[in-house]
A and B are shown apart, each in its own frame.
Chain A
Amino acid sequence: MPEPMGFYTDTTVCIGCKACEVACKEWNQLPCTNGGVNTLSGDSYDNTRRLDGIHWRHVKFIEQFPEDRKDGRWLLMSDVCKHCVHAACLEVCPTGAIIRTEFDTVVIQSNACNGCRDCIAACPFGVIDLNPVSHVAQKCTLCYDRLQGGMEPACSKACPTQSIQFGTIRELRERAQKRVAQLHQNGENRAYLYGADEKMLGGLNSFYLLVDKPEVYGLPPDPKMPTRNLIPGSVFAVLGAVMVGLAAIFNLRNRGASQERKMRP
């Protein structure tokens, strides 16, 4: 059994070249027509817009410039499926199409998915969407086919600055912690790791080094499992059923015919 594998994305060295997006599309044979959208988004250099069924990598461009433009910075981040240890999508999938692989990654089997879209609603990061060609839910597979062949995923292989690093989770976490320490030493005290420990959904097998609040990068500050609502939701639904049952029993039980006469036209 291989060790858990994943990505560590150091956003501080991303240059926004989108080589990861291109490599992903090439290897996974995803359409490059942007779903027929050929207008520019107007949102910085980001015309990918979001992760979905045909965009499994998405480089985000966040421009932080004050009005006078004396100071400022770019935040660049290559977003991808987080391959959560406690995966919301896998949990709710009613067909068993979503599986955990031997590499501890989360993969949607396209031949089993029937396109119910429960996983799209469940994912706390908005990663999954229907592929308009296959009509089933699709997302990053962490290049499951390449991993099985002993290769690294296409995106990390293509990344020219090692912003996206692939490896065992244990090793990646060590490397990331060293990098945070180095940044702190150099005065960048805002650097921290997002999802690199068990506190967030049991650990994100694709975790990030960020230098601003998660919300700034479009990441939820406290992602949760959908099943948190299962017990309370069910209890309240049963309570509703009891109330309806009481109302029905009280009103439908045999009371004689006296009431009926009033209702006759």
Chain B
Amino acid sequence: MNPAPSSTWFTAAPHWQWLIVLYFFIGGLAGGCYFLAALMDLIGRPEERPLARLGYYSAFSCVVLSGIVLSLDLGRPLRFWHMLIESNTYRPMFKYWSPMSIGAWALLVFGLFSFLSLLGALAEDDRIRWPALRTISARWPALRKLRAPSALGRVIAVLGAIFGIYVAGYTGVLLAVTNRPIWSDTPLIGMLFVVSAASTSAALMILLGYRFGGAMPGLANLHRMDDWVVALELLVLIVVMVSLGPVFRAWLNAWGLLLLLAIVLGMLVPLILSWRGRQLRQLNMATARVLVLLGGFLLRVVIIFSSESI
């Protein structure tokens, strides 16, 4: 008999599959985009506000989608509210020691902050064509206060960014707080998810910047930051592999190959394209960011499914 490398081999798979992979990806984008947009508002230049605005738009779209995807994944979707309210007593349901419990609340609170920032961003966006949304900037200019540099806007940005980065990373801690192979055999997946959320979010914002604004101010900064974070992501992933010890053999198969593909396509190639691309044209820069997004998605596919298949 092939001895199990860890006690986690005696457990059952929770059937967390594509919807959860998708949630881990877009939840990371939601938190990461908000975090970056808030930082651009807080420490960036005024010319970068349109790019930060795209970050708030992506964050809100992704957080709404996250809620829908998570609810759909439940065995009983209509009972999604049981995560927040104890269904037998109607008291608030909160367990600070259960990442899923805190995560459900964090997602709700983060959703609220990203909605406020969305309103703030819409209120100063004069390029929107959709009449229903245009009325926001026309009728309620006071909503601009919801966005930095106003004092209220700064508070919202700081709190929203904290909840955003929490939403981006708690999913990895949630995986660690189980007894499943790989997930609970290293405490580092939360860290990996935070870093990967930042790299994919910067990539998404860069691509949206190209799509909606051409060469928007702030793009160079995001490019440079994304290179740093992609390099950091690679480093953290290597540390994760080392920390798995004998459990690493769970990746000596097709999942390991896919992980290698994520590393090469999603991390190394973008870094090379970016490094060689000081003079390269926008197309190559955009290609690098598409690959970063793809790599971030593949990373989550491998982490979820390689454990599910044991």
Which residues on the B side are within 8 Å of A121 (C-beta)? 11, 13-14, 16, 178-180, 183
Is A252 a contact of B222 with CB atoms below 8 Å?
A: yes
Chain A residue nearest in CB terms to B199: A244
Is A126 a contact of B100 with CB atoms below 8 Å?
A: no
Which residues on the A side are within 8 Å of B75 (C-beta)? 113-117, 130, 134-137
Identify B83's interface contact among A116, A240, A247, CB under 8 A.
Answer: A116
Indicate if B43 sits at the interface (CB-CB under 8 A). yes
Quick one: CB contact mask for B40-69 with A, threshold 8 Å, 1 for yes?
100111010000000000000000000000
Is B194 a contact of A241 with CB atoms below 8 Å?
A: yes
Which residues on the B side are within 8 Å of A46 (C-beta)? none
Is B191 a contact of A236 with CB atoms below 8 Å?
A: yes
Q: How far is the CA of A162 from the CA of B237 in the complex (A)?
A: 52
Is B16 a contact of A94 with CB atoms below 8 Å?
A: no
Indicate if B234 sits at the interface (CB-CB under 8 A). no
Q: How far is the CA of A249 from the CA of B225 in the complex (A)?
A: 9
Quick one: CB contact mask for B75-112 with A, threshold 8 Å, 1 for yes?
11101101100111000010101111100100000000
Is A254 a contact of B44 with CB atoms below 8 Å?
A: yes
Q: How far is the CA of A235 from the CA of B198 in the complex (A)?
A: 18
Which residues on the B side are within 8 Å of A243 (C-beta)? 195, 232
Spot the interface stretch: B211-219, B246-254, B258-266.
Answer: B211-219
Indicate if A71 sits at the interface (CB-CB under 8 A). no
- The majority secondary structure among interface residues of chain B is helix
Which residues on the A side are within 8 Å of B14 (C-beta)? 117-118, 120-121
Is A124 a contact of B165 with CB atoms below 8 Å?
A: no
Chain B residue nearest in CB terms to A117: B14
Identify B4's interface contact among A113, A122, A215, A259, CB under 8 A.
Answer: A215
Is B173 a contact of A244 with CB atoms below 8 Å?
A: no
Indicate if A220 sits at the interface (CB-CB under 8 A). yes
Which residues on the B side are within 8 Å of A232 (C-beta)? 176, 187
Is B87 a contact of A124 with CB atoms below 8 Å?
A: no
CB distance from A55 to the nearest CB of B (A): 12
- A115-B76, A237-B170 given; A120·B12 CB < 8 A: yes
Is B191 a contact of A221 with CB atoms below 8 Å?
A: no
- A88-B179, A118-B178, A262-B278 given; A253·B83 CB < 8 A: no
Number of residues from A at the complex interface, CB < 8 A: 75
Identify B100's interface contact among A97, A116, A227, A257, CB under 8 A.
Answer: A116
Q: How far is the CA of A95 from the CA of B94 in the complex (A)?
A: 8
Interface residues on B, range: 35 or more
- A230-B97, A230-B173 given; A239·B179 CB < 8 A: no
- A93-B98, A220-B7, A253-B44 given; A247·B229 CB < 8 A: yes
Is B74 a contact of A114 with CB atoms below 8 Å?
A: yes
Q: How far is the CA of A230 from the CA of B28 in the complex (A)?
A: 20
Q: How far is the CA of A126 from the CA of B281 in the complex (A)?
A: 53
Chain A residue nearest in CB terms to B225: A251
Is A255 a contact of B221 with CB atoms below 8 Å?
A: yes
Which residues on the A side are within 8 Å of B228 (C-beta)? 247, 250-251
8 A Cβ contacts from A218-250 to B: 218-224, 226-227, 229-230, 232-237, 239-241, 243-245, 247-250
Which residues on the B side are within 8 Å of A115 (C-beta)? 74-76, 79
8 A Cβ contacts from B1-53 to A: 1, 3-4, 7, 9-16, 35-36, 39-40, 43-45, 47
Q: How far is the CA of A218 from the CA of B281 in the complex (A)?
A: 58
- A233-B187, A260-B215 given; A244·B198 CB < 8 A: yes
Which residues on the B side are within 8 Å of A255 (C-beta)? 221
Indicate if B190 sits at the interface (CB-CB under 8 A). yes
Show the binding face of B for A, using Cβ within 8 Å.
Answer: 1, 3-4, 7, 9-16, 35-36, 39-40, 43-45, 47, 74-77, 79-80, 82-83, 86-88, 93, 95, 97-101, 104, 165, 169-170, 172-174, 176-180, 183-184, 187-195, 198, 214-215, 217-225, 228-229, 232, 236, 278, 281-282, 285
Further 12 A-B residue pairs, CB within 8 A, beyond A94-B98, A117-B75, A244-B194? A96-B82, A96-B88, A118-B98, A118-B174, A124-B7, A220-B9, A237-B172, A237-B173, A249-B43, A251-B222, A252-B39, A265-B281
The 5 closest A-B pairs by CB, nearest first: A115-B75, A237-B190, A240-B191, A114-B79, A126-B12
26 CB-based A-B contacts, threshold 8 Å: A91-B98, A93-B95, A95-B87, A96-B87, A111-B87, A115-B74, A117-B75, A118-B174, A121-B14, A121-B180, A124-B7, A124-B10, A124-B11, A126-B11, A215-B10, A220-B11, A240-B190, A244-B232, A247-B229, A249-B39, A250-B225, A251-B221, A253-B44, A257-B47, A265-B214, A265-B281
Show the binding face of A for B, using Cβ within 8 Å.
Answer: 50-52, 88, 91-97, 109, 111-118, 120-130, 134-137, 215, 218-224, 226-227, 229-230, 232-237, 239-241, 243-245, 247-255, 257, 259-260, 262-265
